[in-house]
A and B are shown apart, each in its own frame.
Chain A
Amino acid sequence: MPDPFLPVTITLYNRQRKYRIPLAGLRRLAPELLRAVAAHRPGPETPALPGLEEVEVTFVSDATIARLHQEFMDIPGPTDVITFAHGEIIISTETAFANAPLYGRSFPEELALYITHGLLHLNGYEDTTPAQAREMGAAQETLLSQALAKEAHD
């Protein structure tokens, strides 16, 4: 079956040294997530994702993400994930490591969830209002479980 999403590639980079991250596993999972997310568009508007050639996911420290948070969103302090419409998803491993136990997830699952979150943003999901955030939250949990199940099955 032809893959309608093959033109978009997803590449993962590690630019931090604080935590060991399961890059190989995440690199296997990422295309599954991309396929799952691509099939889920929240509204009629054309999102950024179909127009991109590639999506770059980069794992960084809290210090790096805090700088981008401040410069681009005018918000001080670190955050879990920042998504840029040009196809760049920045993830803080430190925040993921701190958040994972709070939500009953493993560290790799938390990282995979942030990738899903970023991809959903690129495909038109927003989380500005509580209703949008709930819809997006539900979508990311569902799509992540689907991708994890599919990857385990393959």
Chain B
Amino acid sequence: MTETATETLAKTAVDLPWNVVVHNDPINLMSYVTLVFRRVFGYSTEKATRHMLEVHQKGRSILWSGARERAELYTQQLHAHLLLATLERE
């Protein structure tokens, strides 16, 4: 019993996180992108603005990392707001 439990834990621990990545696009207003980050992730204006500027200046930003299902949901929500978002694994 104990052994099985340990194995399960070890598997979970090495499961790599999925990254929600937003890419730069020439269409959306910077302030609109900030707004979407606030709404989808519940980030503060400051944090959302930092990510928006990273997208703007470096071309991409990792908005969130974690379990696959949640990452997929966030990516879909970003698409619904017409942002260029992808799901990547580290």
Contacts and interface: CB of A to CB of B under 8 A. Distances in A.
Interface string B2-37: 000000000000000000000000000111100100
Interface in A84-119: 84, 86, 88, 90
A58 interface: yes
Nearest to B39: A71
A27 interface: no
Nearest to B29: A58
Contacts of A82: 31
Given A72-B45, A86-B49, A86-B52, A56 B30 contact: yes
Contact of A88 (B30, B45, B57): B30
Nearest to A68: B31
A58 B45 CA distance: 20
> Which of B29, B35, B49, B52 neighbours the largest number of chain A CB atoms within 10 Å of its CB?
B29
Contacts of B32: 68
B53 interface: yes
A43 B31 CA distance: 27
Interface residues of A, number: 14
A141 interface: no
Interface in B35-76: 35, 45, 49, 52-53, 57
A40 interface: no
Contacts of B53: 86
A56 B27 CA distance: 13
A15 B31 contact: no
Contacts of A68: 29, 31-32, 35
A86 B29 contact: no
16 contacts: A15-B29, A56-B30, A60-B29, A68-B31, A68-B35, A71-B35, A72-B31, A72-B45, A82-B31, A84-B30, A84-B31, A84-B49, A86-B49, A88-B29, A88-B31, A90-B29
| Among all A-B residue pairs, the 5 with the closest Cβ atoms | A88-B30, A71-B35, A68-B31, A84-B31, A86-B49
